[in-house]
Amino acid sequence: MSQQPEQTASAAGGTPAVRVRGVAKRFPGVVANHDVTFDIEAGKIHAIVGENGAGKSTLMKILYGVQKADEGTLEISGEEVVLSSPADAIERGVGMVFQHFQLADNLTVLENVVLGAEKLHGIGQAAREEIRRISKAFGFGLDPDALVGTLGVGARQRVEILKVLFRGARIVILDEPTAVLVPQEVDRLFANLRELQRDGHTIVFISHKLDEVRAIADTITVMRRGTTVATVTPGEVTSRQLAELMVGSELPSPETAESTVTDRVLLRLEGITVDGPDARPLLSDLDLTVHAGEVVGIAGVEGNGQTELVEVIVGMLPAAQGRVSLDGRDITRLSVKDRRGAGIGVIPEDRHRHGVLLDAPLWENRVLGHQGREPMSKWGWINRRAARRDAERIVEEFDVRTPGVETTARALSGGNQQKFIVGREMSGNPVLLVAAHPTRGVDVGAQAAIWDHIRHARREGLAVLLLSADLDELIGLSDTIKVILRGRFVADYDPRTVTAEQLGSAMTGAEEHA
């Protein structure tokens, strides 16, 4: 195990694809990167791991010209560069695929890929041929004329990768590429990445899934508190040792949970149907019960009705038919606010849209969605002191890494924002917690903490509806798992016996019934 990253490159010889020396980046009150020194060998798959807020995204943004380093140097293929924009990075052969896809559904693969790069190939036959060539060379299986809106998550991601290859990227950076994929798609992505590698591309990717990292990466760089602390090969470390390098101490062992399911039904959906823009309903005749002390997990490929399911429960989307009851009370016609008041807590899927006000300080975010509830407010007035105090409690209890509660949400890393929302939604004694991807983008330490909080909630007699793309998380936390496909529940599984592969098959419709 090398604590001095320089050794990796010299041992391998050759000019590294990327050489980072002494890079530092500061934001007001925060050192996001300091003394970052490591090499990315050409033609290798190189993973970057680290806790939330360790500085991974900042470093990748520096490599892609989105952020500029305050100190240090960057070399690409042996040449020192200063990247002032993504266009600069692309010119140097560096491409980046973000976690949130930036594709237009109503355009074709060809149009999406060419958009903004028309100068390179035009938008005609030559571009179509080039896309076919790239798609074939790396096993992407993409039809240039397919409408992006008709593609699944895995295929969309391949369009994003194709986009950067089309622009000539030889170094491809991926930000948590597997977070949204089912296991079968992860396998396919890895096969694609290996093809890219065979062709001489260098792949750099951030991930929180340490088993996957060990399966695919040639080299792993660990970041901790803004700096690179080790560069290792998968053979040298177990996932646990890797996690311990990330946090700098030993991790507690996960506990196994006894069943706490009671007879009391806290959430009941009866015949819920939500109409879609075309003839096909978004949700179709859904029945669901969640008891006090029970975690019901929902597995599904993104876009099969999960978002609508959450929205119908929290009151953001009206059902065309059917009934929603909370603890025996019909809440179908209640507003979002009244449903919150009745005891629904929500960890939203899209935290930027529904979870946080990015430019507001954390203490104001503490009040968000909880206005009108004590102790934060009394007789319509926001009690700032109480909000600050409670925000501080959440920061402490949920280990949110921030200089303080006056800091804006924007200045927190993604995982730390998520921890703050989880803390907020667990406050105020909800009877039902709807958790959509509660640990998406959070590191292993924070993940373990959030899992503990969900288990604790369950022990306390809450009903928990858990939606997650992380099948191990669903299996580890749920009392029962339902698979949603095209707006219907198509199978129920016992998490004690089901495998991630079985769930994956049911989710893609390969196996419609359990």
Ligand X SMILES: Nc1ncnc2c1ncn2[C@@H]1O[C@H](COP(=O)(O)OP(=O)(O)OP(=O)(O)O)[C@@H](O)[C@H]1O
27 binds ligand X (CB under 6 A): yes
* Torsions phi, psi for 175 (to 5 deg): -95, 110
Min dist. Cβ of residue 88 to ligand X (A): 19
Using CB under 6 A, which of 9, 18, 24, 30 touches ligand X?
A: 30
Distance, in Å, from the CA atom of 493 to the CA atom of 262, rounded to the nearest integer, reads: 19
Using CB under 6 A, which of 55, 305, 445, 495 touches ligand X?
A: 55
Strand partners, 95: 172
Of residues 43 and 55, the one with the C-beta less far from ligand X: 55
Q: How many CB atoms lie within 10 A of CB 495?
A: 18
Q: How many CB atoms lie within 10 A of CB 74?
A: 20
Please name the residue that has the structure tokens 């098959």: 505
Site string for ligand X, 259-298 (x = CB under 6 A): ----------------------------------------
Number of residues that bind ligand X (CB under 6 A): 20
Distance, in Å, from the CA atom of 223 to the CA atom of 247, rounded to the nearest integer, reads: 9
Using CB under 6 A, which of 365, 413, 427, 505 touches ligand X?
A: 413
Using CB under 6 A, which of 415, 476, 487, 495 touches ligand X?
A: 415
Distance, in Å, from the CA atom of 106 to the CA atom of 367, rounded to the nearest integer, reads: 38
Find the helix packing angle between 153-166 and 183-198, rounded to 10°. 20
Using CB under 6 A, which of 5, 414, 423, 430 touches ligand X?
A: 414
Min dist. Cβ of residue 412 to ligand X (A): 5
Min dist. Cβ of residue 242 to ligand X (A): 15
Min dist. Cβ of residue 57 to ligand X (A): 3
Q: In what order do the strands lie in the sheet with 94-97?
A: 94-97, 171-175, 202-206, 45-50, 219-224, 227-232
Touching ligand X, residues 430-449 (CB under 6 A): 441, 443
DSSP state of 20: E
227 binds ligand X (CB under 6 A): no
Touching ligand X, residues 296-325 (CB under 6 A): none
Of residues 187 and 392, the one with the C-beta less far from ligand X: 392
52 binds ligand X (CB under 6 A): yes
Using CB under 6 A, which of 44, 56, 92, 482 touches ligand X?
A: 56
Part of the chain binding ligand X (CB under 6 A), chosen from 56-64, 89-97, 354-362, 471-479: 56-64
Among candidate residues 91, 89, 88, 86, the one with its CA nearest the CA of residue 102: 86
Using CB under 6 A, which of 8, 19, 20, 57 touches ligand X?
A: 57
Residues contacting 416, CB < 8 A, separation 6+: 52, 53, 400, 401, 402, 446
32 binds ligand X (CB under 6 A): yes
What percentage of the chain's residues is helix, strand, coil (to nearest 5)? 35, 25, 40
Interface ranges with ligand X (CB under 6 A): 27, 30, 32, 50, 52-58, 401, 411-416, 441, 443
